[in-house]
Chain A
Amino acid sequence: SQQGEEDPQALSIQEGENATMNCSYKTSINNLQWYRQNSGRGLVHLILIRSNEREKHSGRLRVTLDTSKKSSSLLITASRAADTASYFCATDASLTFGKGTMLLVSP
């Protein structure tokens, strides 16, 4: 069964702006992961946040996790055209992926 659902389905912003995408899940988890997929490529792991963590940073990425709401958000700050990709969340409770959020960053 599908676990992570990303929102919005698509997001279009200008370079330099911040991009926020959200993920909701259904069951209890030990960790949640975010992945990125460039068009026609495999997924690349970006960041993992554990259930006992509320926020985690990696470069321009900031991930939050709210286990009471069963939701997570991924913030990309000062976006660049190279950030254009689809972003997926996944949890350790399921082997499936949602449809992702397609991010378009225009120069």
Chain B
Amino acid sequence: DGGITQSPKYLFRKEGQNVTLSCEQNLNHDAMYWYRQDPGQGLRLIYYSQIVNDFQKGDIAEGYSVSREKKESFPLTVTSAQKNPTAFYLCASTYSSGRARPRGTQYFGPGTRLTVL
């Protein structure tokens, strides 16, 4: 089955700890994205990557870091510098034909709900 997976589904973290959220896709998509969603809110872009070994900051990158060492994987680390990390995190991917106008149809993972205790 082709798709995009995120793990874990629920994650609890103590304040001051870094935590890494996993995102894997087997759709052979070039571009991958991380979004944050707070209750009753839209999706805010954290980071995105158009190609392996390259990524760009989104609107709310502070306190987060990413890597893109493999086409299939785009892990997100929520660092202790992120002041309010409790949220629902969504990963997405899309086929990208180039850097200009990169977004085609996005395929989303099921999300990871992070709670900081």
Contacts and interface: CB of A to CB of B under 8 A. Distances in A.
Contact of A44 (B88, B102, B108): B108
Contacts of B101: 30, 92-93
B42 A88 contact: yes
Interface residues of B, number: 27
B64 interface: no
B59 interface: yes
A64 to B, nearest CB: 19
Most chain-B Cβ atoms within 10 A of its Cβ — which of A2, A96, A98? A96
A97 B43 contact: yes
Q: Determine the interface band of chain A, counting residues with CB < 8 A from chain B.
A: 20 to 34
A31 B42 CA distance: 20
A99 to B, nearest CB: 4
A33 interface: yes
Interface of A: 2, 30-31, 33, 35, 40-45, 48, 88, 90-100
